[in-house]
Amino acid sequence: MHRVNRLSRRLFRLSAVAQTRATCAVNKDVLLVKHHPKLAAKHTQHVRWLNTTCVRTGLVQFKLADIGEGIKEAEMLEWFVEEGEKVSQFQDICEVQSDKSTAKITSRYDGVIMKRYYDIGENAQVGTTLVDIEVEGEEDGTEAKQDETPDVPTTIEPPTPTQTPETQGVLATPAVRRLAKEHGLDLNDIKGSGKDGRVVKEDIMEFIDQPEATMTSSSPTMMPSIPTVMLQDKTEKLKGIRKAMVRSMKASLDIPHFGYDDEYDMSELVLLRKKIKKEVKHNTGVKLSYMPFIMKATSAALAQYPILNSQLDGGHENIIYKADHNIGVAVDTPHGLLLPSVKSVQNLSIIEIAVELNRLHEAGLNNKLTQQDVVGGTFSLSNIGSIGGTYARPVIFPPQVAIGALGKIQILPRYNYDGDITKSHIMCVSWSADHRVIEGATMARFSNLLKDYLENPSKLLLYLK
Ligand code: COA
């Protein structure tokens, strides 16, 4: 009796499995015809084959994960896989760009890409499906599964030059685009020999073999082009960093700014840096500009005036005094203005600050800043003087409450305490502060203290770690 029961239970299980598989095949066919008719025939065969070999598959809707920082959408920059192409775990699927950074999305599955949901240039909302993947594995795919733990980007970096909209008009497969990118080539510079001018792998290899191949418009060694006069208006969609600037500058408009300017005599610091910069470069390879001294002195002054390193909370009920002095530095890059910050300056020596600043500057210029680099600033400096100019009107980056713009250090005549005229190295500093939180007198006292440290750099010795 027991045996009969066991047998009938087994028969029942087998028939349930058979039914499930039949449903699975039907569901998949319906989904496939709906989403990607071209692959339907191929896929149907695939399902039948699976049924006979007992390897099960599932259609996973692979979604754009929440990449943090309140980012709601990201622009599709580049696809690395085609529909119908096999994909393996950890393989890059696509690259998206939010208004803060870009992220490569990697697969968490082995399988086949059945459908891509966005075209290049389209905005993907966080939480929506990027691709359908027909997963190879143990799971029984009775219906399209929701990817419950969507992929988290493995690398977050600013846009790379090959992802500019200009190359999007060039016909090329993702593999060819990747190859061009690896060799730092601009697809616009390569004549395509494929159908409709499509750039194929051979075109890239031929281009590389030419001696002048590296002299593309994306090459950093290229001479600046001769400016041409525009014949008509041109409209360009605001994207990435520039779009983020619109948002953050609009937010800063809500802040009642007040300005405060002063000039600092940098003569001693100029001398000090002159004495040691070659040796530092020789011994450590680090470029020692004025900024590491200014940042260390700023941190020492912030320790005395912590309200300048504070933030107003969202409800405007509390002031949060930040423990770390994460000093943001405006970095001018070909892609727009970036504001990475050197973290915990209060714990760093001047040389350590220099190392980190060099890294951030380099990363900014090469589109290699990470999300971590650009978040968390608590106070900012903008060294506009490295480009030129005397005074500036800096704009606060909320939630920070103050920012300083440093002018160019110039040799100017000034009276000394004895009433004699001397040649001094003068740097004008322009402060902007949030008047809801910072009083003018506090800003002036802070600036006086910083001026004292920079005019007498030996006092900074007290703050060396
Ligand atoms: N006055 C005079 N000389 C200056 C200077 C200043 N204010 N700032 C820098 N210099 C000198 C440096 O000491 C260095 O000289 P050296 O070659 O003898 O060593 C040279 O100019 C180049 O310095 P730089 O490479 O710019 O390094 P830095 O550490 O001083 O500055 C950045 C790094 C990232 C801040 C700077 O390159 C930058 O991007 N500044 C622009 C910021 C900006 O756009 N602000 C506007 C925001 S709205």
pLDDT per position as a tens digit, 194-223 = 777 888 777 877 777 665 444 443 444 455
User: Residue 19 pLDDT more than 60?
Assistant: no
Instruction: Name, of 88-102, 229-243, 276-290, the range with top average pLDDT.
Output: 276-290
**What's the rounded Cα separation, in Å, for the pair 172 and 192?**
9
What is the number of the ligand 1 atom nearest to the C-alpha of 395? 48
**Pocket mutation for ligand 1, best pick of 382, 386, 406, 412 (most atoms within 8 Å of C-beta):** 386
Do residues 192 and 182 lie in contact, with contact meaning Cβ atoms separated by under 8 Å?
no
* pLDDT(168) > 60: no
* Direct distance between the N- and C-terminal alpha carbons of the chain, in angstroms, rounded to an integer: 84
Q: How far is the CA of 278 from the centre of ligand 1 (A)?
A: 17
Question: Rounded mean pLDDT of 174-187?
Answer: 74
Average model confidence (pLDDT) across the chain = 79
Residue with CA nearest ligand 1 atom 34: 331
pLDDT digits (tens, 9 = 90+) for 42-53: 433 333 222 222
pLDDT at 31: 38
Q: Residue whose CA is closest, atom 44 of ligand 1?
A: 332
Residue of 282, 316, 425, 435 with catalytic role: 435
| Shortest-distance atom of ligand 1 to CA 289 | 13
Query: What's the gap in Å between 331 CA and the centre of ligand 1?
Result: 9
| More confident call, 151 vs 301 | 301
Residue 295 has pLDDT above 80, yes or no: yes
Does the pLDDT of residue 33 top 50, yes or no? no
Instruction: Indicate the pLDDT class of residue 145, thresholds 50, 70 and 90.
Output: low
> Predicted confidence band at 137 (pLDDT cuts at 50, 70, 90)?
low
Give pLDDT, residue 74.
83
Q: How far is the CA of 408 from the centre of ligand 1 (A)?
A: 9
Task: Verify cis geometry, omega within 30 degrees of 0, for the bond prior to 413.
Answer: no
Cα 332 to middle of ligand 1, angstroms: 10
Look at residue 450 in the predicted model and tell me its pLDDT: 98
| H or E element in which residue 13 lies | helix 2-35
Assess whether 325 carries a catalytic annotation.
no
- Of all atoms in ligand 1, which is nearest to the CA of residue 329? 35
| pLDDT winner (highest mean) among 148-162, 207-221, 398-412 | 398-412
Mean pLDDT of 147-172: 46
Is the pLDDT score of 68 beyond 80?
no
Average pLDDT over residues 153-159: 36
What is the rounded CA–CA span in Å between residue 394 and residue 403? 7
**Ligand 1 centroid – CA 386 distance (Å):** 3
Ligand 1 binding site (Cβ under 6 Å of any ligand atom): 289-291, 329-332, 337, 357, 361, 382-387, 406, 408-409, 427
Residue 178: pLDDT band with limits 50, 70, 90: confident
Confidence (pLDDT) at 428:
98
Point out the ligand 1 atom lying closest to the alpha carbon of residue 330: 42
**In angstroms, what is the span from residue 269 Cα to ligand 1's centroid?**
15
Per-residue pLDDT averaged across 325-331, rounded? 97
Cβ atoms of residues 171 and 196 within 8 Å:
yes
CA–CA gap between residue 132 and residue 134 (Å, rounded): 7
Q: Is the pLDDT of residue 23 over 90?
A: no
Q: Whose CA is nearest to atom 15 of ligand 1?
A: 289
CA 382 to chain centre: 20
Residue 375 has pLDDT above 60, yes or no: yes
pLDDT band at 236 (very low <50, low <70, confident <90, very high): confident
Q: Which residue has the higher pLDDT, 238 or 263?
A: 263
Question: Residue 72: what pLDDT?
Answer: 81
The pLDDT-based confidence of 117 (bands split at 50, 70, 90) is very high
d(CA 256, CA 51): 68
Residue 36 banded pLDDT, cuts 50, 70, 90:
very low
**Whole-model pTM above 0.85?**
no
- pLDDT at position 225: 66
Q: Which atom of ligand 1 is nearest to the CA of 357?
A: 29
Choose the residue to mutate in 267, 270, 275, 289 for probing ligand 1, maximizing ligand atoms within 8 Å of C-beta: 289
Query: Tokens standing for 229?
Result: 């006069």
Looking up tokens 């239970």, which residue turns up? 9
Nearest CA to ligand 1 atom 14: 289
Burial class of residue 397 (count of CB atoms within 10 Å of its CB; 0-12, 13-18, 19+):
buried
